[in-house]
């Protein structure tokens, strides 16, 4: 597997927390935690991390990427956003399971296909430009949610 370029590694670090989010949802469901508690965490994670992360990918990476990738990623971002809205409105086990799996698969696609294609396609100065933009707007994930229902 290709080593992640230093200029987009911040987004890969975010992905680690996205995978953790999926894991936490799965743990909560396995422990039969009240669905509202899990939904509250999904809401927290969306507002404090995922929404901004999607925006950074779309604003900063899309101009360097091709339509095929951009269309798939935009479609997946939109689907995840809609799932979050439904989860917040009416938490259901199946919806939480689907969200956790969809998020995991989305992250794996970006890590295994999209990011490697960008690294192969772009030259160092383009990657540097991406890095500068990300450093300007990116905030590290601080997932210190109080209700640790997954433990």
**Mean pLDDT, residues 7-14 taken together:** 94
What are the domain boundaries of the chain? Answer: 8-137
For 18, the token pair is 């996205």
pLDDT-based confidence at residue 67 (cuts at 50, 70, 90): confident
The candidate with the shortest Cα–Cα distance to 42, out of 81, 15, 13, is 81
Q: Which residues of 82-120 are buried (b: 16+ CB within 10 A; e: fewer)?
A: ebbeebeeebeeebbeebbeebbebbeebbeebbeebee
* pLDDT above 90 (res 35): yes
The string of pLDDT tens digits covering residues 105-145 is 999 999 999 999 999 999 999 999 999 999 999 888 788 89
For 8, the token pair is 């987009």
* pTM exceeds 0.75, yes or no: yes
Cα Rg for the chain, rounded, in angstroms?
16
Cα–Cα distance measured from residue 38 to residue 72, given in angstroms and rounded to the nearest whole number: 27
Residue predicted with more confidence, 75 or 139: 75
Planar angle of CA 2, 22, 131, nearest 5 degrees: 40
Backbone φ, ψ for residue 108 (5° rounding): -60, -40
């Amino acid at each position: 597997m290709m080593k992640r370029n230093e200029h987009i590694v911040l987004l890969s670090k975010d992905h680690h927390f996205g995978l953790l989010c999926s894991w936490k949802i799965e743990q909560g469901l396995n422990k039969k935690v009240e669905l509202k508690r899990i939904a509250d965490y999904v809401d927290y994670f969306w507002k404090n991390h995922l929404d901004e992360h999607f925006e950074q990918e779309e604003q900063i990476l899309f101009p360097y990427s091709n339509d095929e990738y951009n269309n798939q990623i935009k479609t997946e971002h939109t689907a995840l956003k809609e799932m979050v809205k439904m989860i917040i409105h009416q938490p259901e086990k199946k919806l939480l399971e689907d969200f956790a799996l969809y998020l995991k698969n989305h992250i794996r696609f970006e890590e295994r296909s999209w990011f490697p294609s960008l690294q192969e396609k772009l030259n160092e100065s383009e990657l540097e430009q991406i890095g500068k933009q990300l450093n300007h707007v990116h905030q590290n994930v601080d997932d210190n949610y109080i209700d640790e229902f997954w433990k």
